[in-house]
Amino acid sequence: MSKSFNTNIVKVLRLTREMMLLADQGDNNRRDKSCGVLYGTLRDAAYKLRQLAENERTQHQQDGVWDIDEVTQ
């Protein structure tokens, strides 16, 4: 079983993917410019969170504590 701190990083990576998909979908179906601001902000937040999570994953890999198979992500 994977360590919870690694599992949580994977959850963040998956969540950011969902955030990006929602931002794209929302942008394609938006009603006005303010909706565009909302979905743009969501997309920006997703990219920032994803970068942080990827950096944490890299650090855990370098520290030898990453115990999750990359394929399962």
pLDDT value for 39: 97
pLDDT in tens, 33-47: 999 999 999 999 999
For the chain, which residues make up each domain, given as ranges?
16-62
Rounded to two decimals, what is the model's pTM? 0.88
pLDDT in tens, 5-23: 999 999 999 999 999 999 9
Distance (Å, rounded) from C-alpha 23 to C-alpha 3? Answer: 31
R_g of the chain computed on alpha carbons: 15
- Tally of CB atoms within 10 A around 38: 14
Q: Is the pLDDT of residue 63 over 90?
A: yes
